[in-house]
Structure 1
C-alpha cells in the first residue's frame, strides 16, 4: 500500500462518509464546540460571573446529578411516546433558553433552578439523540455511525477548550457571558441540523399499557447496564485518578497531565472507528466489554510502576498506561453502543437506553471518591484489588450479555439471536 492509499485509509477512519452518518457527526461536533467551551470555563463562570462559592457550585451540581439519575428512565420513556427527533429538538431548544438565561441568574437558588433544569433536559435530549441515531440507521451501520459521532465530539470538545483559553485570558464579565451565550447559539445551530434530519416514525406501542419503570424489572438487561457502568469508569480513572496519582506519587512534571489529556483526545479521534469493528452484533458487543475490562485491569497494574521510577522512565510508564486506558475507553464504548443498538425493542428503546445509562450515572456518583480512595489514598497497594475488580467484571461480561440476549425484552416474544445484529423495525 502506497503513502497515498495509507493517508486515504486513515482519513476514512476519521472523516465519516457522505450522507446521514456525516450529518450526524457534524451536528455532534457543533454541539461539542459550545459544550466544550462552557465545560472548560464553567468553574470560573460560576464563581466569578455568578458570585457563587465553590461549595455552592459543588452542591448544585451534585443535586442536579441526583435528579438526572432519578429521571433517566421515565425521561427515556418520553422518547418512546413522542418520538426521538421531537424530544431531541425540544431538549436542544430548552437547553439554549436555559443557557441564555444563565448570566441573569441571581444567587444560589436561581443557579440551582437552572442547573437542575439543565440536568433534566440534557438527560432527555441525550437519550433521544442516541435513540434517533439507532432508529434512523440500518443495524449494521449503527455502531460505526456512533463511533464517528464520538470522534466528532472529541474534535468539538477540543476546539471548545481552545476557545476557552481566549475567554480565560480576557477574564472579563463580558467574555464569560459571551461564552455562555455562544454555547446557547451552538445549541440553536444544532437544533437546525436536527430539524433537517430525516423523519423517523414513532414505533407502534403495544395495546397493553406498560409502566415507564417496567424496564427496571428486566433483570438481565439491568445487570448488563450495571456492568457496563462499572467499566465506563475509565473516564473517572483518566480525568480524576490519573492526574491525582501523577501529582502525588510520581516525579513527572505537572504539564504532563495536560499532554496526557491531549493524547487521549487524539487517539480517540484517530482510532474510535477502528476500535468499534465487530461490536455491531450482541456477541461482539459482549467481547468488546470484556476487552475493555481487561485493558482497564492492565492499566491498574501498569500505573503503580510509575511510583517506583524516575525521570524519563516515569514519563514513559505514564504514557503507556494512558494509551492502554484510552484503548479501554474506545473498545468499551463500542461494546456499550452495540448493546443499546441491538437489545432494546423498538417500542421501548427510549426507556431501555435510559435504563442503560443508569449504570454510567451511578459510576459518576460513586467512582470519583471510591477509585481515588482505593488507588491514590492507599499509597499504591489499592491498585491490585482494583485490577482484580475490573478483571472479574471483564470475565463476567460475555456470559452476562449472553444471558441478557437469551431473554425476551418488554413486549417481545422472541430474543435477539446471539451473534447477529437486531433486525427489529425502527
Structure 2
C-alpha cells in the first residue's frame, strides 16, 4: 500500500489536475517541442542550411540578446494595454511566420533581421504568457500551475531534442527546411490552443497609465528583480560553466556531461511541483529564493573538489554537485514565480513582470563570461568568491522583498498586501 501511495503521489506531481492548470501545462509542452527542437539543432541549421560562419551566428545572437534586454520593459507594457491573451496569440503567430521564413533567408543581413525580430517577439510573448497565468488563476494555485508548466515544458524539450537528433542524422537541406516549417506549425497549433483558453477579465485600467520605463523608478521592486535575476545563473552554471570545468579540470568521461543534462531534465519533471510548495506568498517566495541561493553557494564549494579526485570518486562528487544545483534550480524557480505573482500591481502587471524579467536578461549577458572566468580560468580558487556572492544574495533577498512589500507600487495607493518574511 505504501508503494502504491508513493506512485500515486509521484503521478500527481507530474500530471496536472484537470482544468485550466492542465490546459496551460499541455500548451507549454506543445510549445516546448518546437522550441526544444530548434535549440538542439539551431547551430547546425545556421551553419549548414544558411551558410553562416560561427562568428556571424555568435554576433547575430548577441545582438538579438541586446534587443531582448532593451525591449523587455517597454514591450511588457503592451500586455497591460491590449491584454495578455491577445499579445500571447499574436506573438505565437509572428513566431510561426518568422520561422517559416528561415529557409528563404539570404546572408547575414536576413539572418540578423529574423533573429532580432524573434527576440523582440519573445520579450513581449514571455511576459504575456506569465501575466495570463497570474490573472487567470486564484492566488493559491498560481505557483503550482507554473510548476506543472515547467515540468511538462521539460518533457516537450526532451521530445524536441529527440526529433532534432533525427534531423541531424539525415543532414539534408530538405530535412532542415522541414524542421523549421514543422516548428512554425507547432507555434501555430499553440496559438490556436491559447486562443481557445478561457477569457480572463482584465484589471481596471488606471486613469494615468505608466510611461514605458516608469517601473524602473520603483527601486525596491527593481532591487528584488536584480537579485532574483542573479539567481537564475544556475542555468549558466549547469549548462555552460560546469561542463567546461569537467572538460578542463577533471578526469571524468566527456559522456558524463550528457548524462548530467538528462539527470537535470528527469529531476525537474519529477520534483518541480513538489519543490514549489510554500512559495505562493511573497514571504514564502522570498524564503525559497534564499534557499536556492544558499544551495548554489554550496554547489560552488563542492564542485571544485572534483578537480582533486580521481576515477569513480570524481563522478560521485560531480553528481553530488549537480544534485545541489538542480535542487537550487527547482526551489529558486518557485521563488521567482511567487514573487512575480504577488509583488506586481494588478493594473500594471505586464509592465512589472516585464521589468522583473530584466534581472534575468542582465544575468544572461554577464554570467557566461563572468562565471567562466571566476570558476574555470582561475584554476579553481574563483569558486570560493563565487560562493560568497550567492550566499550574500541569499541573505539580502528576504529583507529586499520585505522592503518591496512595504512600499506602494507605482500607480497604486498602497501595497497589495503586507509582506513580513519570517526568517
TM-score with structure 2 length normalisation?
A: 0.98
Is 1:318 the counterpart of 2:318? The answer is yes
Counterpart-to-counterpart distance in 2, 1:343 and 1:389: 25
Counterpart-to-counterpart distance in 1, 2:368 and 2:175: 31
Counterpart-to-counterpart distance in 1, 2:86 and 2:415: 29
Q: Which residue of 1 aligns with 2:28?
A: 28
Q: Which residue of 1 aligns with 2:376?
A: 376
Asked if the contact 2:25–2:152 (Cα under 8 Å) also holds between the matched residues in 1, the reply is yes
Aligned residues: 421
Q: Which residue of 2 aligns with 1:134?
A: 134
Asked if the contact 1:281–1:418 (Cα under 8 Å) also holds between the matched residues in 2, the reply is no
**Aligned 1:243-392 pairs, distance under 5 A:** 243-392=243-392
Counterpart-to-counterpart distance in 2, 1:395 and 1:98: 43
Counterpart-to-counterpart distance in 2, 1:301 and 1:243: 16
Alpha-carbon offset, residue 419 of structure 1? 5.6
Q: Which residue of 1 aligns with 2:403?
A: 403
Alpha-carbon offset, residue 314 of structure 1? 0.2
Q: Which residue of 2 aligns with 1:68?
A: 68
Counterpart-to-counterpart distance in 1, 2:419 and 2:183: 42
Q: Which residue of 1 aligns with 2:91?
A: 91
Alpha-carbon offset, residue 413 of structure 1? 1.6
Counterpart-to-counterpart distance in 2, 1:283 and 1:414: 18
Counterpart-to-counterpart distance in 2, 1:417 and 1:192: 36
Q: Which residue of 2 aligns with 1:107?
A: 107
Alpha-carbon offset, residue 202 of structure 1? 2.6
Alpha-carbon offset, residue 212 of structure 1? 1.7
Alpha-carbon offset, residue 209 of structure 1? 3.5
Q: Tell me, what secondary structure is at the counterpart of 2:376?
A: helix
Counterpart-to-counterpart distance in 2, 1:341 and 1:193: 23
Q: Which runs of 5+ in 2 are unaligned?
A: none
Q: Which runs of 5+ in 1 are unaligned?
A: 422-426
Counterpart-to-counterpart distance in 2, 1:182 and 1:95: 12
**Aligned 1:207-218 pairs, distance under 5 A:** 207-218=207-218
Deviations 1:254-288 (A, max 9, x none): 00000000000000000100110010001001001
Counterpart-to-counterpart distance in 2, 1:289 and 1:418: 19
Alpha-carbon offset, residue 411 of structure 1? 1.7
Asked if the contact 2:345–2:416 (Cα under 8 Å) also holds between the matched residues in 1, the reply is no
Q: Which residue of 2 aligns with 1:148?
A: 148
Counterpart-to-counterpart distance in 2, 1:396 and 1:195: 41
Counterpart-to-counterpart distance in 2, 1:163 and 1:96: 18
Q: Tell me, what secondary structure is at the counterpart of 1:356?
A: helix
Q: Tell me, what secondary structure is at the counterpart of 2:14?
A: coil
Q: Tell me, what secondary structure is at the counterpart of 1:377?
A: coil
Asked if the contact 1:283–1:418 (Cα under 8 Å) also holds between the matched residues in 2, the reply is no
Alpha-carbon offset, residue 2 of structure 1? 2.2
Is 1:166 the counterpart of 2:166? The answer is yes
Asked if the contact 2:36–2:156 (Cα under 8 Å) also holds between the matched residues in 1, the reply is yes
Alpha-carbon offset, residue 23 of structure 1? 0.3
Counterpart-to-counterpart distance in 1, 2:245 and 2:127: 34
Counterpart-to-counterpart distance in 1, 2:227 and 2:28: 27
Q: Which residue of 2 aligns with 1:240?
A: 240
Alpha-carbon offset, residue 357 of structure 1? 0.4
Counterpart-to-counterpart distance in 2, 1:262 and 1:20: 29
TM-score with structure 1 length normalisation?
A: 0.98
Q: 1:420 to 1:301 in 2, by over 3 A?
A: closer
Alpha-carbon offset, residue 3 of structure 1? 1.7
Deviations 1:317-363 (A, max 9, x none): 00000010000001111000000100111110000000000000000
Alpha-carbon offset, residue 420 of structure 1? 9.1
Q: Which residue of 2 aligns with 1:13?
A: 13
